[in-house]
Amino acid sequence: MAVEVAANAPPPPQPLRIESLLLRAYRAFSAELVIPVHGRNLLIYGENGAGKSSIYKALRDLFARRPRRDALKSNAHVHALDPSLTPRVAVTFNDGAPPLDWTEAKHPGLPTTDPRVALAALRSSFLDYHALLETNAFHGQRRPNLFNLAIETLLADFADAISGKTLAERWTETERARPLVHRSNTNYLTHVETACAAFNAGLEAALDAILPIINDLLSDLGRHEMRIEALERGTVRYNGARLKKDRGFAGKELYAKLKFRGYYPQQPQHFLNEARLSALALAFYLAGRLACVPSAPSPALKLLVLDDVLVGLDYANRRPLLAVLERHFSDWQIVLLTHDRHWFEVVRAAIPTDRWTCHEMYEMVAVTGEATPYLRPVPSDIVKATLKQARDFIAQKHLPAAANYARSACELLLRKQCEDRKVSFYYKPDPKKITFEQLKSGLDSKLAGDQPKLDALAAITPHQARILNPLSHDPTTSLNEAEVVAAIDAVEALMMALRTP
């Protein structure tokens, strides 16, 4: 009977995902633009001024835990030619329900909250480069005190297992419990002392939850030399001061005890380089989200939006972030925004092509002089797209360019396959210095026993010297169309063979 009930049980609800985002008369968006997402993760490259940060702020303010009524109006685009165009942000989900529609008249989180907004607000995280600086750079010569950052951002949504109250709610209760007047006896302090005790217990539980996640993320980000040994907190208590101006709470302290290669720097902001500081900040922020958001399966939207958080790092220090997102945020909908073209291409080459939607954004100036973002969808499968470009150049009889794109596609394919199959190479400071032949040999060693794939890999060998070689593309070199087409066909056949289980 139990088996029969299980067989007839309804399927689990489909996770809520964003299908499209609409922006109109909002910041850089002077006209209405719909950004297709298709329920996948989203990767957008945007030139400076093209509207990339407008997307970040629209999503952040739409899914805010405490929405501001004037947030849309204060970010309205100024329209000299069309003053009647009103600002609007709308999100369409995959649930078939009407979209979330945010206009000057109503925020979907106010006054009666749409449950899709309420649940997503508690499960979303928005992070840009400026936010990373809060963990280290804004503390001057002092040891970074993370107390305010923890209760306002990192651990604000951490819920008490018994009462269900969040840490931010506990802190609000504590501040409201502060006595309005000073009295000679101490009985009047019972209420505020009870609130302080509840807050301290909640903070202790939150720190116990976040600490192992921080260290796990530091390891995954490639920072094995760094470890947070403890999160040292003060005990929050009411000071009972006689004068109103002096009344408040002592113990508002939270310090990270960082161990770096056996040394304990008190001021990491003046000791660590930018790559390590960024990794430390990322670990804190992402660990905060993972500690606060319920890990149990839920149909609610979990949204992670990252706007150029790695702008100060070289590419070798950026790559581990993709592995972190794949391991720890596989059930989240991720939005990556960047103005770095090369990083955009690196991400496209590394991501699973069936789970991402990719766009490029540019600022387009109309004949009237009004500028607005222009969206150009691009294939998430960069190898397939590069091969298509090679064939387009064949049609245009531009053989050197076609040969160059064929080589690029082959190298991208080999590099991604080597990464996916964890091929090891001798250390090189710049991974791009790993040669074509090294990639091919490394992949060959991982395909032992899979003859169809080995045959497809061997089939590109005849084309290495003339076509699939970066030194062979001198425009004065004579190429014939048949050999370039054959090389493109061989790379495409290898791509199909390697993707076959």
**Rg over CA atoms, the chain:** 27
Q: State the pLDDT at residue 345.
A: 85
How large is the average pLDDT for residues 343-370? 85
Of 452, 463, 470, nearest to 489 by C-alpha is: 463
Q: What is the pLDDT of residues 304-322, one digit of tens each?
A: 999 988 876 777 778 889 9
Q: What is the DSSP string of 130-163?
A: HHHHTTTGGGTTSPP--HHHIIIIISTTPBPTTT
The DSSP letter of residue 291 is H
Output the CATH code of domain 14-123+298-378: 3.40.50.300
C-beta separation of 468 from 460 below 8 A: yes
The pLDDT score that the predictor gives to residue 140 is: 64
Q: What is the rounded average pLDDT of the residues 233-241?
A: 92
CA-to-CA dists, residue 480 to 398, 399, 423, 429, 491, angstroms: 10, 7, 35, 37, 17
CA angle 361, 365, 367 (to 5 degrees): 150
| The residue type at 251 | G
Q: In the 8-state DSSP scheme, what is residue 260?
A: E
CA–CA distance, 443 with 487 (Å, rounded to integer): 19
Residue 70 predicted with pLDDT over 80: yes
pLDDT category of residue 370 using cuts at 50, 70 and 90: confident
Contact criterion met (CB below 8 Å) for 247 and 182: yes
Q: Rounded to whole angstroms, what are the CA distances from 349 to 154, 225, 316, 332?
A: 31, 29, 15, 20
Average pLDDT, the chain: 87
Name the residue among 19, 29, 18 with its Cα closest to residue 86: 29
Q: What is the CATH number of domain 382-498?
A: 1.20.120
pLDDT digits (tens, 9 = 90+) for 113-136: 889 998 898 889 999 888 877 776
Confidence class for position 477, pLDDT limits 50, 70, 90: low
pLDDT at residue 137 tops 60: no
Across 471-489, average pLDDT: 78
Q: Which of 129-143, 219-233, 241-255 has the highest mean pLDDT?
A: 219-233
pLDDT > 90: what percent of the chain? 47
220 pLDDT above the threshold of 50: yes
pLDDT above 60 for 297 = yes
Q: Does residue 88 have a pLDDT over 50? A: yes
* Candidate from 185-199, 219-233, 270-284, 424-438 with smallest mean pLDDT: 424-438
pLDDT for position 428: 56
Q: H or E segment at 238?
A: strand 237-238
**Domain ranges across the chain:** 14-123+298-378, 132-278, 382-498
Q: Whole-angstrom Cα distance, residue 390 to residue 295?
A: 45
More confident site: 450 or 59? 59
Instruction: State the pTM of this model.
Output: 0.84
Q: Residue 272 pLDDT more than 80?
A: yes
- Mean pLDDT, residues 386-405: 90
3-state secondary structure (DSSP) of residue 224: coil
Which amino acid is present at 332?
Answer: W
